[in-house]
Structure formats: structure tokens, C-alpha cells
Structure 1
Amino acid sequence: MLEITFDLDYRSGKPLYIQLYNFFKNEIQAGKIDPGEKLPSKRKLALYLGVSQNTIETAYEQLLAEGYVESVERKGIYVKELNRDLFLHVNDVLNTTKEINEEAREQYLFDFSQGNIALEHFPYTIWRKLTIQSLYEEKSSYFLNGEPQGELTLREEIAKYLYQSRGVRCSANQIIIGAGTQYLIAFLTMIIGRDAVYSMEEPGFHRTRDAFKDQGVTLKPILLDQDGIDLKHLYDSNANVTYVTPSHQFPNGMVMPITRRMELLKWAEEKGRYIIEDDYDGEFRYKGKPIPSLQGLDNNGKVIYLGTFSKSLIPSIRISYMVLPNSLLEKYSQHFTIYKQTVSRLHQHTLWQFMINGHWERHLNKMRTVYRKKQNTLISSIENYMGRQATIIGDDAGLHILLSLQNHMPEIELIERAKENKVKVYPTSVYYENNHPEQKPMILLGFGGLTENQIELGIRLLKEAWG
């Protein structure tokens, strides 16, 4: 019998047949088992390893299916001739990729990404329980296609929540659920029409800008002033659709005051214009009283409201939504219900249960406290370690701030020096289309995914990096 030196690991949790299959595959690829070599019979190998013949048979069937071995009738199973040079190359590539990934993981101690959230506070136990419950409730129906706009029960809960928390006035019928804001932006350009002239804040979220551009629309950047999007430049642009982030401008962080909101609504009332209001992290406000959404102030059906659960819950479930005014809802109903829903019905049903059972409200209240503490730690650490050498911008709301440094380093040098100290920080130049102010570089610091201790240590390392 072929010499086999292999011990099964009963504690690994990996099926025994997979362990055996991987052993033979790796031995064959490495040339340790020669072509034409006969593998042990199922009965003998089962006795030798102390497992069932079914385990051996399943492992052999997988090797046969992938072409590592061949079965010769009445004789047994033999190793096939393979191009080992190819396997050596593939293994080299895999090993190199593994080393690169490991190096990338080890490269940074602290990552100030604005896209990360406090996963340690996610209610895993509750979410797992509700997910399992969703599978048992009318389980057959959730494996089929649902309503194009999303599950009605979830849309009804979202409508209630939006009215209570953000002053958004809408029915469930006006809400369309979709897999992320970029998808909804692309879908929205189809509903409004690609012949419209679109505009957005400058600076503004680069992924949104790319979503517009990929739809082939005319997109004009509109500069900001201290209150948000500049109305004079907006009028001069001749745009008839504009995208704004009024509750926490991305990335500069200002909150659009009520006077500017009313001026923007007046702009939209003229000539059939529309405002796209992206309230991407409107749940997290740390100073002053919440300002009503633009949609809640709109009496003429000119605002399309966008929201997401990515910041407030978890990004991976990809549940975002938009609220259409009636004029666009009619257009959607006539021409676009042919497009199927893009979010898992199982996730939608789980989120609905999460909301109706009060878990959503409790989770939000908890996260507001968590993020307020993290932001306080970030600000106090910057003040302690950097003092007057740094200016904090946009700390009224959200999960990130901007940091302006007075050390005369350009943006790229700030990022590279931080990297040398194993801290990852982010540029703001990517959020500009045309007008990045090179003479005043700013760094974006997100704090949602770091602990308070990591934030303090990260800022201390940045102080050392930037002098």
C-alpha cells in the first residue's frame, strides 16, 4: 500500500473527507505521489485511518471530479499525469498573494477609515436569533422574488422611523429599497432621465460622483461656502438636479442651516428642478438640536431623500433606500417596476423584526453614546498631542472629522509619514473634481471602527510622524 503519513485533526471542525482530499491534492501537486501510483483501496485506507469507507469514498470522488486521479475498472484509482510546472507557478502566485495580504494587514496598527463602524457593539446574538426566526416564518416564500420596491412591512417601518426621527413625510409606497446608495443613484438617473443636467457639492463623495459619471450624465461640481452648497454657483450652473449632504456635508462636515435649506428649496421650485438629499449618517449628531430634513420642509415634491443602514447598523447587509416624490413615483410605476429588488428578502425580514421589536431604537441610542465618546476621545487627543498645530473641522455630527495641519507638509507626505508609523489616514483631494486647494491640505480621520484606546494611541503616533 502507498505509504501514507497523515493524521486527521478531529478538533479542527473541518470535515474528515476534506482533510483527506486536501492531503492527497497537495501531495500530488508537490510531486510527492508519482503519476500512475495507485491509491490505497477504500477498505484498507478506512481501516488504516480508523474512519468509515464513506469518508474515503467522498474524498476520492472529489479528487476524481477535479481530475487529479482516474478510476480504472476492476483495478483501482490511479494518480494522473499533471503539468507540475503549472502547479508550481500557481502555488508561487498564491503564496506571493498570501504574503502581500499578510504584509498589508501588518502594515498598519490603526486605521482611521470613515467607512468602519463599531462592530464590537453590534447585537450579534439578537440578529442571529431573528435571522433564524425569519427562516422559519413562512420560510418557503422568502426564497422567491419579492416586491420590486422591497418588502412592504419593512418599508412601512422605515416610513414611521423617518417621520419620527428626521421629519420625513412619506408613505411606504414612496420608498424603494436598494443594495447601496451607488445603486440607487444609478437607478435614480434612469427615473429622472439622463438628459437632465446634474450637479453635486465640491468637494463631495467620490463614489457618488463616479456613480453619476458611469451613467453618462452631465455632472457639474458646485463650490461650497460656510453654509454648504453655494446658491450663486448653483444657479449659474444651469443644473436642474443637485445632490447634497445637508445634515453632515461630506467630507467638510458642516450642517446646512435652515436659511440655506429654504433657499435651496426655493431653487428647486423653479423650472421643475429636483434635490437629492443624502442623509447618510443623519442619526449621529453631537451638537445642537436636530435640523429637519430637506424632504420634511419640502411642500412641492422636489426632494428625493436617500438613507442607509450602513453607518447605523452594518455595511454588509447593503440596505439603503430612497423616498420618491409623487411625480417621480408615477414615472417609476409606469416604466421601472420591471427591475427586480436587489436586497435579500431574508435580510429585509430580519431588519423588519429588528425594528418592530424595539431593537433598532435601543441600538441607535447606544451607538449615539458610543460614537460621542469616541469623538470626544479623538478631539481631546488631538488637542493634547497637537495643540495649535492642528485645526479640527466638521465635528458637529457623523463618524469622521477633517484635520488641517500647520506643518506645511503636502497631503501625500502626511499620509506617507503616518504610514511609516503604522497609522492609516485618508486624503481629501479625492473628493474634489477640479478645485482641490493644494495650499491647505486636510486629512480625513474616521473614528467609528477604533476603540477609545486605539484612537488615543493612533493620534500619539501621528504626532510623532508629523512633528
Structure 2
Amino acid sequence: MVEITINMDYGSGEPLYIQLYNFFKKEIQTGKIEPGERLPSKRRLAQHLGISQNTVETAYEQLLAEGYAESVERKGIYVNNLNRDLFIHFEDSPQTQKEISEDSVQYRVDFSHGAVALEHFPYSVWRKLTLQSLYEEENSHFLNGDSQGELALREVISKYLYQSRGVRCSADQIIIGAGTQYLIGLLTMIIGRDRIYSMEDPGFHRTREVFKDQGVTLKPISLDQEGIVLNHLAESKANITYVTPSHQFPNGMVMPITRRMELLKWAGEKDRYIIEDDYDGEFRYKGKPIPSMQGLDRNGKVIYLGTFSKSLIPSIRISFMVLPTSLLEKYNQHFTFYKQTVSRLHQHTLWQFMISGHWERHLNKMRTVYRKKQTVLIQSIEKYLGQKVTVIGDEAGLHILLNVQNQMSETELIERALEKKVKVHPTSVYYANQDIGQEPMILLGFGGLTGDQIELGIRLLKEAWELD
């Protein structure tokens, strides 16, 4: 395995993942890292350099995308065999010395699916409640709290989940954690690593990486127009499956009630569980709300995951999971020594925000805001892109997929957009089994954009993609 010695320049203003990517690229081009060598694992390298695992992952993704390395399932990332003659004059050529970083571009429009409408966040209310959290009961919130999270917050979350999503649970079944990835890692330890896990393909790549980092056997399961294909799930021999039924990520379909009931029937077998990630279930634009799978479950087979990242702000890092009683017993026996990962002050502030009615008002407001933004996006696509594209997944959530029919590859679509200073996002990263013959699809998030920015972005994409 490659030994890495690199000094990260924190004062340069250049993103750390770009520094890491450029380091590896140069080492590979000059032959200092030879073909066939395995790069360090993301976790190991992040610890070695004192940076986040996401930073390493982003750098590696760029190396993979440009062909400098390839990912071998369950083994790691290996350097590809390149024609070094092409790089002999690399350092002498002014043209090749010129590095163009995406992060150095001042985007006119960034269709990020992770952004939210920060301009509508109730700053003054949150500031007031935060100060109250600091003063109430003096310094009690400065000490460690319950490993599952603050009881008062779990109680109000329990009531909210029942009223809004039909989730049936007590506060004792809820565990609060700093992000869904952390909770999935904890859940994998509770369930056990000796099971066969599965997830939708395509599916959220960060979740896939958590499962892989936990060392479990993970089977990708294909989708049809209603969600996960059950006969493929049965054939996989998996006994744990991760799904996003209320807004499949990234394809956007909503799993109908019939498929949900069939999946629950599958889970009825001994030692099978469904992990239901309801990451943005609050935002639905077409049809009537569909109850959570957990609310339909009568056998204690569904683990429900939720988050405040989409509905409030991403940086708050407050997510939660609802454990069925069988897994709650295992948690209480073996895992309560893991300390709570979310600030008690933030938990207390959120509790006050919810019990005082601010949460409900904010959520209702944001439903209207995002519905209007999505309408602008769809209308702009119809106006500028016409029949050359197909919109996928517009029933819910804060993103859509765009199938572009102009013979360009996914990479070409992204690069052409970049020339117009518009950032669009790939969908290939979400596939475990990439279908080579599949038409390219681009992901467009709209939560963090204004109506004018959305229309401008789509108009520029028409020019970039030559859709006349």
C-alpha cells in the first residue's frame, strides 16, 4: 500500500480535496506511485492527514472519474496503468501546468441537491431560543446527557412523527445522532455485521460507503417504476434492506402502498429488517401523503430514519432513528456506553422551537416555498429545453433528474455546463452496477436557489447543451 507524505496548506484558500487530488495525480503521472498500487483507505488516510473522510472521498472520486485509478469492490482503489510517455513533458508545459479547479470557478448557478433556502430560516427566533437554552437551568446543559438524546426532544419528535408521518413509537425507541451516516454505522453494529445487507441501486452513495466501511456484505438491488424489485431482493438472500420509499434517492419515485405492503411481507420472515430512510418526506407536491412504512408495520421489522437537515438546516446535524423493540433491547444491553453525539444546547433549542409552534409554522412555510421553486424549475425546463429532455422524480423532495437526449455523455453535459459557469451534478456515482447502455441523467437540486437563479441556470443549460 502507498505511503503518503503530504503537507496540507490550510492557508492557501485552495480546497483540501483539490490539494489531495493534485498530489495523487502528479505522483501517478510521474511514476512515483506505480500502476497496480492500492491507495490508502479513506478512513486511514483521513486519520493520517487529520482531515475529514469526505475530503478524501471527494479527491478519490475525481481520480476515479479521470481514469487515474479504479475501484475494486471490497478490495479498495488501485492505480491504473497509464502511458507515462504522455506525461514526460508535463512539468515543462505551461498549458498542462494550468490547473482548473471546479471550486475556483465563481458559479453563476449551482444546482446542488444539498442546499436549502437559508433566506427563510428564522434566524431571530433561533437566536432567541439558543440564548434561552444557555441561561435556563444555568449550566446543566454543559454536562453529558442521555446517550439516546434529550428525553424532552425525543418526546416531541415522537408526537410529531405520529401526527405527520404515521410513525408509531415512544420516546424510548428514538435515538438521536449527528447525521444519518453516524446512525447507520451504529445501527449496523446493533443488528450485526454477519447479516447480508442490501440497498437500492441506484442509491445514496454515502450510505453505501458507510455499509462498506462497516465491512458488511452489501447487495445492490435494482429498481423499477415503483421502487425496489422484490424478486431481485429475494434472490439476493439479503435479510436487511435499506430503502427510501417516500422519495427514492436519486430517482425520485414514491413507493406505492402495494409495494410497501409487499416489502413488509418480505420482512415478516425471521431476522429480516427494513431500514426506512425518510430523509425529506415532509416535501411532497403531487397526490396525497403516503404513511411511513414504519406506521404500517405490525411486526416490529422497520427501523425508521429521519433528519432535520432538509427541513431546517444541514449544519444542525440532528438526525434520529426509531428502533423496533427487539433491536432496542440489544441497544440497551450493549451500546448505551456510546455517548450522545449532538450538542445538548442544540437539542434543547430545537425542543423549544418545536413545542412553541415555530417548527410547524416553519415547515408549512417551507412546503410553500419549495413548491413554488419546483414549479419555476419545471416551467423553465419546458420553456427552454422542451422535448429534448425528460423530467424524472418531480413528485416530492428538493431535486429532480433530467434525462438529456442530445447524444452527450454525463461528463460532457457537466463540462459543457461548467463552461457557462453552471454546476450540475452526476447520477453515475449513485450506481453500484452502472448500466453502460443507460442514457445519461443529470441531477438538479433547487432548494438553495431563487426563482431567477433557477430560470437563468436552465437558460444557460440550453446554450451549453445546444438544445435548439
TM-score of the aligned structures, taking structure 1 as reference length: 0.79
Alpha-carbon deviations, 1:361-416, whole Å to 9, x = none? Answer: 00000000000000000000000001000100000000000000110100000000
Alpha-carbon deviations, 1:53-104, whole Å to 9, x = none? Answer: xxxxxxxxxxxxxxxxxxxxxxxxxxxxxxxxxxxxx999845739999983
1:200 aligned counterpart, secondary structure: strand
* Structure 2 partner of 1:249: 248
1:444 aligned counterpart, secondary structure: strand
* Structure 2 partner of 1:330: 329
* Structure 2 partner of 1:376: 375
Matches within 5 A, 1:85-234: 94-95=11-12, 97=14, 104=103, 106-234=105-233
CA contact (8 A) 1:377 1:456 kept: yes
Q: Distance in 1 between matches of 2:306 and 2:263?
A: 19
Matches within 5 A, 1:25-104: 94-95=11-12, 97=14, 104=103
Paired-residue identity, %? 78
C-alpha change, 1:234 and 1:108, in structure 2 (3 Å) is same
Asked if 1:348 corresponds to 2:347, the answer is yes
* Structure 2 partner of 1:390: 389
Q: Distance in 1 between matches of 2:14 and 2:432?
A: 34
- Shift of the alpha carbon at 1:204? 0.1
Q: Distance in 2 between matches of 1:92 and 1:396?
A: 44
Alpha-carbon deviations, 1:123-177, whole Å to 9, x = none? Answer: 0000000000000001311100000000000000000000000000000000000
* Structure 2 partner of 1:439: 438
2:276 aligned counterpart, secondary structure: strand
C-alpha change, 1:390 and 1:91, in structure 2 (3 Å) is closer
CA contact (8 A) 2:15 2:103 kept: no
- Shift of the alpha carbon at 1:434? 1.3
2:432 aligned counterpart, secondary structure: coil
Asked if 1:464 corresponds to 2:381, the answer is no
Q: Distance in 1 between matches of 2:9 and 2:246?
A: 50
Q: Which amino acid aligns with 1:97?
A: E
1:97 aligned counterpart, secondary structure: coil
- Larger radius of gyration between Structure 1 and Structure 2: 1
- Shift of the alpha carbon at 1:438? 4.2
* Structure 1 partner of 2:87: none
- Shift of the alpha carbon at 1:439? 3.3
Q: Distance in 1 between matches of 2:459 and 2:373?
A: 15
Q: Distance in 2 between matches of 1:299 and 1:91?
A: 53
* Structure in which a larger fraction of residues adopt helix: 1
Q: Which amino acid aligns with 2:278?
A: D
Alpha-carbon deviations, 1:341-362, whole Å to 9, x = none? Answer: 0000000000000000000000
CA contact (8 A) 2:281 2:397 kept: yes
C-alpha change, 1:415 and 1:103, in structure 2 (3 Å) is closer
* Structure 2 partner of 1:49: none
Structure 1 residue runs without a partner (length 5+):
1-89
Q: Distance in 1 between matches of 2:313 and 2:15?
A: 27
Q: Distance in 2 between matches of 1:399 and 1:406?
A: 23
Q: Distance in 1 between matches of 2:153 and 2:350?
A: 7
Structure 2 residue runs without a partner (length 5+):
1-6, 20-100
Q: Which amino acid aligns with 1:406?
A: Q
Alpha-carbon deviations, 1:420-459, whole Å to 9, x = none? Answer: 0000000000000113354310000000000010000000
C-alpha change, 1:98 and 1:224, in structure 2 (3 Å) is closer
Q: Distance in 2 between matches of 1:201 and 1:239?
A: 12
C-alpha change, 1:163 and 1:413, in structure 2 (3 Å) is same
C-alpha change, 1:230 and 1:106, in structure 2 (3 Å) is same
Q: Distance in 1 between matches of 2:8 and 2:343?
A: 36
C-alpha change, 1:364 and 1:93, in structure 2 (3 Å) is closer
* Structure 2 partner of 1:309: 308
CA contact (8 A) 1:429 1:436 kept: no
* Structure 2 partner of 1:339: 338
* Structure 1 partner of 2:416: 417
